Structure 1
């Protein structure tokens, strides 16, 4: 297991003045912010994602998301696995679907199952008063009160089809993506794409290392499929910044 990262070691880079970022955010309701964390902290989280993360396979089956153990998938008979893969491909072609690896940090922490993984300290940092106040200043919105978090890994062939992140009763105000892949190129795919009302790509964020993306919910977006020749996995910690409730 990688060494823990103390929450106090995680800080927003001092040059990222939220009041200078706020006018940029207001124009498109999204931001790509480079060099957000201390470099050693980002590197430590990245190495833990590579070496020490209990990944599960995240898929959208029927009308809900599921997280399957890799042992469970490996034990499936060949014909059953073929049917599963064919069904995923059909739903991805005709509607909403995703396929990538994940680990829900917030679910584990809130259930009292801490392991010392550095992503747990990042979750604590997200929910500390300093970060929440920084988000309020960047967005000009005083409602943010809580952030959830999941680690994500997109390997070649993985994708996340277009959606808006809107979910009744979830109190989602903003989505965030903390990018933790040391090296990436746009040719490898895995790009966070924002879709305009005509179905065109309005803007795309390549997953640059130690860059934070924040965008308002709802907003149509997707993650483009990772190319078969991608040189590594697309690693990130993602989630939603939420209000305390629908009237908060």
Structure 2
């Protein structure tokens, strides 16, 4: 599934130096296309909003009615609204067995892939990959946070970008900020790229613009070390 032409050495070096990197052409071309089609046409999405139960996707009148309250909450502090499909939970519960995403999750946790991420990061403790499919529609966002979660032993966060022909002024970029809130840089969700960063790191996903012609599609999650034993 990973591109046979990928040379990870420059990305490994950049990751070690800066704590973040984006790897273009990450998957084999046909695998990337098939995954993008799955996210576009086959995933039964729900909308996730901080502090609220997952709900049917925010589209049309539902989005117009619910967005103002979501923005009010966002003005008060950390908040998010985006669509998701929780791959680990779905696999455990036996839901949607026909979805390609289940095979992707199994691949992410296979010995060859785990060895690959250990080589890329230099972290031999990495032992598990979590994943969810995500979709950001116009108006959806994820405010600044750092992904810190010691109980889950998160070591690296990743975004496998699967939106075609994304334009920079459509929003939805992955932004990084320092501890003082100064903007450091941003990653465009280029098709078939892997955005990766060491946890914790302050970051956010910018609001997707109303004129965006595509949803921002991705598979996201964390590379975990084994949880600490009590």
Q: Does 1:98 align with 2:80?
A: yes
- The match for 1:17 is 7
Residues 53 and 114 (structure 1 numbering): CA distance in 2 closer, same or farther, change over 3 Å? closer
Shift, 1:68, TM fit: 1.4
- The root-mean-square deviation of aligned C-alpha atoms, in Å, is 2.2
The count of corresponding residues between Structure 1 and Structure 2 is 229
The within-5 A match list for 1:56-205 is 56-61=46-51, 66-70=53-57, 85-205=67-187
The separation in 2 between residues aligned to 1:59 and 1:160, in whole angstroms, is 10
Residue 19 of structure 1 contacts residue 137 of structure 1 at CA under 8 Å; is this kept in 2? no
Offset from partner CA, 1:41-99 (integer Å, 9 cap, x none): 111111111111100011002xxx6321349x9999xxxx95x5444212211210111
**Secondary structure, counterpart of 2:11 in structure 1:** helix
Alignment TM-score, normalising by the size of structure 2: 0.92
The separation in 2 between residues aligned to 1:134 and 1:128, in whole angstroms, is 10
Residues 114 and 86 (structure 1 numbering): CA distance in 2 closer, same or farther, change over 3 Å? closer
Corresponding residue to 2:44 among 36, 47, 54? 54
Q: Does 1:241 align with 2:223?
A: yes
Alignment TM-score, normalising by the size of structure 1: 0.85
Residues 85 and 21 (structure 1 numbering): CA distance in 2 closer, same or farther, change over 3 Å? closer
Offset from partner CA, 1:152-200 (integer Å, 9 cap, x none): 1101101000000112311111111000001101100000001123312
The separation in 2 between residues aligned to 1:242 and 1:66, in whole angstroms, is 26
Any unmatched runs of 5+ in structure 2?
Answer: none
Residue 46 of structure 2 contacts residue 83 of structure 2 at CA under 8 Å; is this kept in 1? yes
The separation in 1 between residues aligned to 2:217 and 2:68, in whole angstroms, is 26
The separation in 1 between residues aligned to 2:210 and 2:149, in whole angstroms, is 32
The separation in 1 between residues aligned to 2:22 and 2:57, in whole angstroms, is 33
Shift, 1:246, TM fit: 2.6
- The match for 1:6 is none
The separation in 2 between residues aligned to 1:17 and 1:246, in whole angstroms, is 33
- The match for 1:215 is 197
- The match for 2:207 is 225
The separation in 1 between residues aligned to 2:38 and 2:91, in whole angstroms, is 16
Any unmatched runs of 5+ in structure 1?
Answer: 1-9
**Secondary structure, counterpart of 1:68 in structure 2:** coil
The separation in 2 between residues aligned to 1:231 and 1:176, in whole angstroms, is 24
Deviates more, 1:129-138 or 1:155-164: 129-138
- The match for 1:26 is 16
The separation in 2 between residues aligned to 1:41 and 1:15, in whole angstroms, is 14
The separation in 2 between residues aligned to 1:91 and 1:106, in whole angstroms, is 28
